[in-house]
Amino acid sequence: MSFTTPERDQIIKKSPGARAAVEALKERYLVGLHHNWHDRDFAYDPLFDFSMAGDGDLIERDGKKFARVPIDACNFAPPCFASGPRTNPQWDVLNASRAVAFKGIPEFFKAVRTVYDRGRPIRVLHLCPVPPAEGNGTTLHDLRDLFESLFSPSERQLFNLITMEWDYPFPLDLETLAFFYRSSRVLVHAAPDERRCRTAAYAWVGKMPVVARENVGSILPADLRREPFLYRFENDNEMADAILRSLDASHDDLQWGDVADQFSGVPSGERLGAFLNGLADSRGQRSSKQPINVSRLDIRLGRHHMNALGPNGMAQDLVSFCGNLLSLDYGEIAAAAGAPDPEARIGELRGPGRMARLVGRLPRW
């Protein structure tokens, strides 16, 4: 069982009842923490048996040792991103990023402006989900004004900015999003700090080059952080050069298969399963050693029990979900684990009889 860092910070840390509910799981489950952002002042909490984060993403403030696996949501790209031809693409450059401050969108616009000023009329597609108006203050509400101030009407025929203000943060189904990936030559991800992002993983699993800083490339093994997989730039002024370098280069390389495997569900599930089995064995705990259900783990590992929007949220509150987990027998656990959406299935398994079985098993709070 894994929880996200927002759940840790906004629910588990603030509610003794929620913490007790998670603690009660540890008799039967390994409990992990999915880090939705890197943390250079990480405080290890033994409530969580392991962390899901990449190399260099976590620095424990007191130097404590903790179990970590460099696999998380970005390593489970759906098969639709790996399938289909990439012939005669409509767009040279794809950017798929939300209209929030930390994605580096204004800097990306300025890099494309530089490319056009150099006489290179490349075709660009930016798919841009827009948060609701009552967002947390990081939304770029003036994005289209900036776009239209930088690009003439004729240039906007080449640079297609598609802002989407519905079903945030996933206005497109993944198959449709994958179509746009397959219709583009390279992905540009301009975020200056973001490290483990699904949008870059979706490109790499489809053998699509990525133009980005080192922080985005950190999800690649160190020996694969090179061209033609990653066209790196160090600062905003170098982004235009990196875009043109990626478009002018040959992308042939014998190690594309190794890159794609890093973000493919089955091999990533095997690596994660081996880690969890080893962790259980090291603690003298029994593991089922059954294959991990990798269906939609790119979304499921980052979901929240906090009224999050769309597929990013679970309807059931965290304490009730933990109660359901404890009340299931092993046959029910196995059946739920094999469902297309195991967490949603577990959330449905409730009723008076089941709750009566649960009363004597959870600590009082």
Q: How confident is the model at residue 4 (pLDDT cuts 50, 70, 90)?
A: very high
Does 168 or 262 have the greater pLDDT score? 262
Q: Do the Cβ atoms of 351 and 312 come closer than 8 Å?
A: no
Decide: 76 and 268 in contact? Cβ < 8 Å: yes
Angle, vertex CA 301, rays to CA 23 and CA 279, nearest 5: 55
- Domain assignments of the chain as residue spans, ordered by start: 2-74+264-358, 79-262
pLDDT of residue 84: 75
Give the pLDDT score at 186. 97
68 has which bridge partners? 51
Predicted confidence at residue 235, as pLDDT, reads: 95
DSSP 8: I
pLDDT in the model for residue 20: 96
Residue 190 has pLDDT above 90, yes or no: yes
The predicted-structure confidence for 271-294, as pLDDT tens digits, reads as follows 999 999 999 999 888 887 788 999
Tens digit of each residue's pLDDT (9 = 90 or more) over 84-96: 777 789 999 999 9
| pLDDT tens-digit series, residues 309-344 | 556 667 678 898 899 888 888 888 888 888 988 888
pLDDT at 266: 94
Please report, in angstroms and rounded to a whole number, the separation of the first and last CA atoms in the chain: 22
Q: Assess whether pLDDT exceeds 50 at residue 361.
A: no
pLDDT at 95: 98
Residue 150 token pair: 């930088």
- Give residue-wise pLDDT tens across range 220-243: 999 999 999 999 999 999 999 999
> What is the average pLDDT score of the chain?
89
DSSP three-state, residue 155: helix
Closest CA to 287 of 272, 299, 268: 272
246 pLDDT higher than 90: yes
Long-range (24+ apart) CB contacts under 8 A made by 55-60 are 55/218, 55/222, 56/218, 57/195, 57/196, 57/218
Mean pLDDT confidence for 105-118: 98
- Region 23-30: what's the mean pLDDT? 92
Candidate ranges 19-33, 317-331, 346-360; pick with highest mean pLDDT: 19-33
Return the pLDDT at 127: 98
> What pLDDT score does 304 carry?
77
The string of DSSP letters for 13-73 reads: TT-HHHHHHHHHHTTT---EEE-SS-EEEE---TTSSEEE--TTSEEETT-----EES--G
Averaged pLDDT, 141-148: 93
- Average the pLDDT over 207-212 and give the result: 97
Q: Which fold has domain 79-262?
A: Rossmann fold (3.40.50)
Highest mean pLDDT among 75-84, 257-266, 299-308: 257-266
> pLDDT by residue (tens digit) across 146-178?
999 999 999 999 999 999 999 988 899 999 999
pLDDT digits (tens, 9 = 90+) for 30-78: 999 999 888 989 999 999 999 999 888 999 999 999 999 999 999 999 9
| Whole-number CA gyration radius for the chain | 22
